[in-house]
Amino acid sequence: RTVYLNGEFVAEHDAKVSVFDRGFLFADAVYEVSAVLNGRLLDNAAHLARLARSCQALSLRLPCALSDIEILQNRLIAENNLVEGAVYLQITRGNSGDRDFDFPGESVTPTFLMFTQARALIDHPKAKSGIRMVSVEDIRWQRRDIKTVGLLAPCLAKEYAHQHDADDALLTENGLITEASSSNAWIVDADGTLITRPLSTHILHGITRQALLELAKQHGIRFEERPFTLEEAQNASEIFISSATTFIWPVISLDGKPVGEGKPGGVAAKLREIYVQMAVEAASR
Ligand code: PMP
């Protein structure tokens, strides 16, 4: 694989970052993941806008203009002949030559890294089979709206899920579901209304979440943005998760008990179909 690091396209084994990089020592870094379909970036303007917002929230300097980042993303896609998958990008506060909590001065430049991941998005088996989830306490920090690389809590949540015979975890806080470990969470009530948590510092402002709300509006699917409890999720007719690289995956069990009839739900399937159609169209223009 060719990766991008600080202005250069190099073979992955030639890309080196200092042990004093603040991304490595302090998780002082932000990231983005944009889906690639038919060799084309999906909803990338929204991902880059969120990147700028994350950087701003942390007084982290963007390495270049957003339009230049997109040019680099597209060049990396071409270098790797990526058809379907994702482009990961990360910006750290750079290497100040020692371990020091204080922000370095202006002379220290950000570290800017990008790589591609080939991956099935449209025909992913989990999209059909659905996934099993467990609930776990959300122990993340209080600015989940900033997309930082401090991802130990979600790693622990996924490991807990795997040890409990599940694929992934739904995170709870004060009896409410915040989101999933690396995606937004949705439930469908008995009337077929979509429910997902409103934007706040408690959740990541998912780009896919926003796109799905727009599509629901266009297609006359009822939705509510409001907090919902673990108990509501347990009793929901459907649960599903959304993210840039999963689109929508249905959830078939929660804490070992079936969701609805224990099969992928019809509302999630319909919404996924609408989303895929929109994405395929956008990628063929
Ligand atoms: N929440 C969390 C915690 C995530 O890690 C992600 C995926 N990056 C999402 C939600 C989904 O966001 P998006 O739709 O922008 O991929």
CA of 209 to the centre of ligand 1 (A): 8
Closest by alpha carbon to 94, among 105, 114, 110?
110
Kindly state if the Cβ of 140 falls inside 6 Å of ligand 1: no
Q: What is the dihedral of CA 128, 132, 135, 136, to 10 degrees?
A: -100
Q: Which pLDDT does position 283 carry in this prediction? A: 96
pLDDT digits (tens, 9 = 90+) for 149-161: 999 999 999 999 9
pLDDT of residue 230: 98
Q: Please list the ranges in the chain whose pLDDT falls under 50.
A: none
Instruction: Please say whether the beta carbons of 23 and 29 come within 8 A.
Output: yes
Query: Which residues, in sequence order, are CB contacts of 218 under 8 Å at separation 6+?
Result: none
Counting from 1 in the atom list of ligand 1, the atom nearest the Cα of 151 is 5
Distance 147 CA to ligand 1 centre (A): 8
Helix axes of 266-284 and 207-218: crossing angle, nearest 10 degrees: 100
Q: Distance between CA 230 and CA 225 in Å, rounded?
A: 16
Is ipTM beyond 0.90?
Answer: yes
Q: How far is CA 41 from the centre of its chain?
A: 15
276 contacts 247 by C-beta, under 8 angstroms = yes
pLDDT of residue 30: 98
Write the pLDDT tens digit of every residue in 18-66.
999 999 999 999 999 999 999 999 999 999 999 999 999 999 999 999 9
Report how far ligand 1's centroid is from the alpha carbon of 242 (Å).
Answer: 7
Residue type, 218: Q
Helix ranges (DSSP H) in 180-249: 207-218, 230-235
Nearest ligand 1 atom to alpha carbon 47: 15
Residue 206 in contact with ligand 1 by CB distance below 6 A:
yes
Among residues 147, 158, 257, 270, the one annotated as catalytic is 147
- The DSSP H or E segment spanning 281 is helix 266-284
pLDDT, tens digit, 9 for 90 and up, residues 168-179: 999 999 999 999
Nearest CA to ligand 1 atom 8: 182
Query: What stretches of the chain adopt beta strand conformation (E)?
Result: 2-5, 8-11, 29-37, 40-41, 85-92, 111-118, 131-137, 168-173, 176-180, 184-188, 194-196, 223-225, 238-243, 247-254, 257-258
- Protein residue whose Cα sits closest to atom 1 of ligand 1: 183
Half-sphere exposure of 189 (CA within 13 A, CB side): 15
Strands 131-137 and 247-254: parallel
147 a catalytic residue: yes
pTM over 0.90: yes
